[in-house]
């Protein structure tokens, strides 16, 4: 069964990695979909994000990384995914995620959404918070892979 874990991954964090690692043990094939998401004005280009995600996930043998544009549900259909995996960091994420899952179910009744809650050590990590800490010169080594830390340091040289 193919599952899809979609995101912008701007950049990929240890929180993302945790969800991906756990999802990879639940599903035979996991596609990590890196959304183009120009409306979010990502810090990193799509190619840079793909490169970082591939580097961080290179030890997994049942994970494919792929870029996509447009609706996630359409991408899920195109790769014949049966499941969309979503991470929940806190109850605050729940409302938005449940609305999204409900809409996706209306658009594609044969694709399920599965929620995985973040572990306590990653519940507060978000890409935007990581970017902000890095921009201010803070230590992000506990929150991202070294390749991501280097990429952020390069952008935010002070």
Active site residues: 16, 40, 89, 127
Task: Give the strand order in the sheet containing 83-88.
Answer: 63-68, 29-35, 2-7, 83-88, 112-117
Give every CB contact of residue 7 below 8 A, 6+ residues apart in sequence.
16, 32, 33, 34, 35
Where b means 16+ CB within 10 Å and e means fewer, 38-77 reads eeeebbbebeebbbbbbebbeeeeebebeebeeebbebbe
Q: Do residues 56 and 12 touch, judged by C-beta distance below 8 A?
A: yes
Q: Do residues 18 and 46 touch, judged by C-beta distance below 8 A?
A: no
């Amino acid at each position: 069964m193919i599952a899809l874990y979609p995101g912008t991954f701007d950049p990929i964090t240890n929180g993302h990695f945790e969800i991906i690692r756990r999802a990879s043990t639940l599903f035979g094939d996991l596609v990590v979909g890196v959304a183009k998401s120009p409306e979010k004005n990502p810090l990193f280009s799509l190619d840079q994000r793909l490169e970082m995600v591939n580097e961080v996930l290179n030890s997994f043998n049942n994970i494919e990384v792929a870029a996509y544009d447009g609706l996630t549900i359409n991408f899920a259909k195109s790769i014949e995914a049966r499941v969309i995996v979503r991470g929940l960091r806190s109850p605050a994420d729940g409302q938005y995620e449940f609305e999204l899952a409900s809409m996706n179910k209306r658009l594609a009744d044969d694709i399920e959404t599965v929620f995985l809650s973040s572990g306590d050590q990653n519940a507060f990590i978000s890409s935007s918070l990581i970017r902000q800490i890095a921009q201010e010169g803070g230590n992000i080594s506990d929150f991202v892979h070294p390749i991501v830390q280097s990429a952020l340091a390069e952008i935010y040289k002070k």
